[in-house]
Structure 1
């Protein structure tokens, strides 16, 4: 059975530092994650087994192994399985995600991201989008929204 994909951003989802402030750095030397948002992500990951696809632009500066160490250090209970590919002709996150979904031909996916370009995505994608806010991240309301999307949009 193919696992659904969780297309996950970091800034505005797990990292809730205001853009006008420098990131607070954790003891492993990487940006601190909001502990409530991490807890909510772990609660989501208990409801469904996902392959995590990191969509954050931060994916361009560290390896998959590096990010999995960062996730382990922050006690996120599932590893990242892949990065969203860098598509040369894509101008924004919406286009990257559209290309990826078409390329891998998936129906069961969830996107957690604060990127406003996703507002212009087609309805099929928007039905599976949990759009967070920069300073709130993946809070309890967004967790409930995500669980609702899984119930209503995923096949089984």
Structure 2
């Protein structure tokens, strides 16, 4: 079975704190995730076979092992396979995702992110984007959008 590459952000997807407030910290010492968003992510992960790649800028301050422990502590049912590579010459999430998809020849993917620069993606990529809102995250409406996106590929 082919796996769908899930490109996942954290802030505005699973972490929905207002930007004017410091992150609420979980018992493992890392930022709390919105439990409804985690539940929605787990629902999505149960629907298909995914390879999960973290695109969050937070990927630059923790190791993959650290993030997998964080995800496990928050009861996310799947490990992260890797981080989007750091491309120092690129200036936006949009450019990073395009480079990643091109470099690794990925055609079966889903992007969940709140970065508005992704509105500028070319249509063939943008149609596989679920663009969340910062303080709402991966809510029920966005889960339904992700289901529809998966069903149409």
How far off is 1:106 after superposition?
1.2
Q: How far apart in 1 are the matches of 2:94 and 2:148?
A: 22
| Aligned residue number for residue 53 of structure 1 | 53
Contact 2:2 2:49 in 1 (8 A): no
Q: How far apart in 1 are the matches of 2:125 and 2:36?
A: 26
How far off is 1:4 after superposition?
1.1
User: For 1:32-59, what per-residue CA distance to the aligned partner results, in whole angstroms no more than 9, with x for missing partners?
Assistant: 0000000000000000110000000000
Q: Map 1:7-22 to 2 at 5 A.
A: 7-22=7-22
How far off is 1:88 after superposition?
1.9
Residue correspondences, number? 153
Unaligned runs of 5+ in 1: none
- Look up the SS of the partner of 1:47 in the other structure: coil
Contact 2:128 2:149 in 1 (8 A): yes
| Aligned residue number for residue 90 of structure 2 | 90
What TM-score do the two structures reach when normalised by structure 1? Answer: 0.97
- Look up the SS of the partner of 2:46 in the other structure: helix
Structure 2 residue 23 is matched with structure 1 residue 23: yes
What TM-score do the two structures reach when normalised by structure 2? Answer: 0.98
| Aligned residue number for residue 113 of structure 1 | 113
Runs of 4+ deviating beyond 3 Å: none
How far off is 1:2 after superposition?
3.5
Contact 2:111 2:129 in 1 (8 A): yes
Q: How far apart in 2 are the matches of 1:117 and 1:34?
A: 23
| Aligned residue number for residue 38 of structure 2 | 38
| Aligned residue number for residue 124 of structure 2 | 124
Q: Map 1:145-156 to 2 at 5 A.
A: 145-153=145-153
How far off is 1:97 after superposition?
0.0
Over the aligned positions, Cα root-mean-square deviation in angstroms equals 0.6
Q: How far apart in 1 are the matches of 2:37 and 2:31?
A: 14
Q: How far apart in 1 are the matches of 2:60 and 2:51?
A: 19
- Look up the SS of the partner of 1:80 in the other structure: coil
